Structure 1
Amino acid sequence: MNPALRIPAEFVAPSVEDAHLPPLFTVGTFEVGKHSLLILLSVVLIAGFFMYVVRRRALVPSKGQYLGEMGYGFVRNHLGRDIIGEKEFRPYIPLLFTFFFFILVNNLFGSIPVLQLPTFSHPGTAYVFAAIAYFVWVFVGIKRHGFGGFFVKMTMPPDVPKVLYIVLIPLEFLSNMIIRPVTHALRVFATMFAGHMAIMVAAGFTAYLATGVGGALGIGGSVFGVILGLFIYFLEVLIQILQAYIFTLLFAVYVQGSLQEGH
């Protein structure tokens, strides 16, 4: 058969298994892989950076101190004070700070060569953080309003004809107590996983075309693939930052709603 007429091998798109590699080793029944190591690395990086920049607090801050203070001020003022309120926000700053910077760093791992894995593309990480947020805002609401008062606040909107509560109570319970924490986690997980897979597909397909499959047309297509891949890459960086902000912002909104007095 004429080599020029041979049908090229099919492009095989990356799979979920390619995105989440097998464990590197196990400790008892606990599997330790790249995902686990990156989470530990993020803790070291975040703690190390902020401990370093506050070790010598100068009146005229260094670049590192300025960056650290700016990051802390952003979380404190825009996600704490402006959302939760001037009188109530201070106890929640440590958790807001942890949520924002932990999610941010772990998301950005997906855009760093060699690392190239946003750990929140794994559902377990996202749902653990959503569970923490869920239990905190429920606890805050019960502490402020009591169990019955919090339940009424979550399931019985004010200024509604009482007959409609027959329908609204189960719907509001489902929306606020079940769907809310699920979507809180799903939002960050789905965007990180989809973005990571999109970059993998674009890179794989570009490499496939660059091998000369399809002749000059295939090589030309690989150039377009590089441009598309770069566009997806920078879009993903933007989404990684936004998702850290949105997750933390929603938690602040939930806490503010729990603290707010009922009508």
Structure 2
Amino acid sequence: MIGAVGTKMLLAADSGPRLPGVSDFLPPEILFQGTPFAINRIIFIRIVATVLLLIILGVTAARAKLIPGHWQGLVELGMDFVRDNVVYETMGQLRGKRYVPMITTLFFTIFFFNLFGVIPGANMAATATVTMPLVFAIWVLVQYWIAATREKGLWNYIRDECFTPGVPWPVYILLAPIQFLELVIIRPASLTIRLFANMISGHLTVATCLAFAQFWMIESANKLVGVPVGAAWFLGGIMMTLFETFVAFLQAYVFSILATVYINLSYPEAE
């Protein structure tokens, strides 16, 4: 993992370790420089992650058997988890059937993209910049607006959300704009910021631990002190890597269940 951090973790004994920063998430272009199709490291990771995910699920589906093997059983366990504990638990089976494919796609894509933050050679989640989380959030926004329009009609939905019955009319002056902003901006913004901020913080934490480990174990002049201190930092990096694996799953779960809740709120019964 230290090698994967590459030149970003170059250290100088007289100035201390070079710690990771925001610039890590704006890497230079590595392919098709100067064209509209320019690809930097994080875009390349997204492409690789997408291709691998499609291959894994495609091969699993192509080789599916009536009595599943260990791998097929693991994939089906994940799908059943999303269906039963995210979609059906929130929406119910009758309504949820419509959204099982969408929410399952969201969950698996986000989880797999997040995992690249702890995969050696990548060490950066494909969701660690705002673009991908924003795309996912806009997809959710479009879906709950479509559901609301289909179930209530667009104007009725906006009216019900912005002008809650039973509220004194002067309060609407303040309440209505806030409610409208929640529907259009706050919900997708919260989904976006929550996901990419967690992925950024995880990358920075792991990279910082490894930077200090490399500095103390390799660059420190006092090896008697540096080696045990560096080993402690390295152990911290391993522990944070394991924690980030859990966070990769947790953030996919949180995003998926919030997406399901927002869609469900567009139905009349959820008022």
Larger deviation: 42-51 or 234-243? 42-51
Provide closer, same or farther for how the CA distance between residues 207 and 19 of structure 1 changes in structure 2, counting only shifts above 3 A: farther
**1:9 aligned residue (15, 21, 33):** 15
- Pairs within 5 Å for 1:59-98: 59-98=66-105
2:41 is equivalent to residue 34 of structure 1: yes
Give the structure 1 partner of residue 31 of structure 2. Answer: 25
The answer (yes or no) to whether the contact 2:213–2:233 under 8 Å persists in 1 is: yes
Larger deviation: 34-43 or 122-131? 34-43
Percent identity, aligned pairs only?
A: 26
Give the structure 2 partner of residue 183 of structure 1. Answer: 190
Report the residue type matching 1:239 in the other structure.
V
Q: Tell me, what secondary structure is at the counterpart of 1:47?
A: helix
* Structure 1: gaps (5+ residues): 1-6
RMSD in angstroms over aligned alpha carbons? Answer: 2.0
Larger deviation: 99-108 or 88-97? 88-97
* Structure 2: gaps (5+ residues): 1-12
2:253 is equivalent to residue 245 of structure 1: yes
C-alpha displacement at 1:168, in angstroms? Answer: 1.2
C-alpha displacement at 1:118, in angstroms? Answer: 0.2
Larger deviation: 68-77 or 15-24? 15-24
2:126 is equivalent to residue 148 of structure 1: no
Partners of 1:262 and 1:126 lie apart in 2 by 26
Larger deviation: 12-21 or 75-84? 12-21
Report the residue type matching 2:249 in the other structure.
I
Larger deviation: 177-186 or 13-22? 13-22
- Pairs within 5 Å for 1:76-225: 76-213=83-220, 215=222, 216-225=224-233
Q: Tell me, what secondary structure is at the counterpart of 1:29?
A: coil
Report the residue type matching 1:23 in the other structure.
E
Deviation per CA, 1:154-207: give whole Å up to 9, x if none.
223344333322221122222332111111100000000111011111111111
Provide closer, same or farther for how the CA distance between residues 73 and 146 of structure 1 changes in structure 2, counting only shifts above 3 A: same
C-alpha displacement at 1:136, in angstroms? Answer: 1.4
The answer (yes or no) to whether the contact 1:212–1:219 under 8 Å persists in 2 is: no
Q: Tell me, what secondary structure is at the counterpart of 2:261?
A: helix
Provide closer, same or farther for how the CA distance between residues 164 and 18 of structure 1 changes in structure 2, counting only shifts above 3 A: closer
Alignment: residue pair count: 257
Larger deviation: 220-229 or 187-196? 220-229
- TM-score under structure 2 normalisation? 0.87
The answer (yes or no) to whether the contact 1:84–1:256 under 8 Å persists in 2 is: yes
Deviation per CA, 1:111-168: give whole Å up to 9, x if none.
1111211011011111111111111111211221111111023223344333322221
Partners of 1:81 and 1:237 lie apart in 2 by 26
Provide closer, same or farther for how the CA distance between residues 262 and 99 of structure 1 changes in structure 2, counting only shifts above 3 A: closer
Report the residue type matching 1:221 in the other structure.
V
Give the structure 2 partner of residue 3 of structure 1. Answer: none
C-alpha displacement at 1:99, in angstroms? Answer: 0.6
Larger deviation: 175-184 or 117-126? 175-184
Partners of 1:91 and 1:262 lie apart in 2 by 17
The answer (yes or no) to whether the contact 2:29–2:41 under 8 Å persists in 1 is: yes
Larger deviation: 167-176 or 243-252? 167-176
Partners of 1:212 and 1:12 lie apart in 2 by 12
Provide closer, same or farther for how the CA distance between residues 8 and 254 of structure 1 changes in structure 2, counting only shifts above 3 A: same
Give the structure 1 partner of residue 6 of structure 2. Answer: none
Give the structure 2 partner of residue 4 of structure 1. Answer: none
C-alpha displacement at 1:44, in angstroms? Answer: 2.2
Q: Tell me, what secondary structure is at the counterpart of 2:94?
A: coil
C-alpha displacement at 1:21, in angstroms? Answer: 2.4
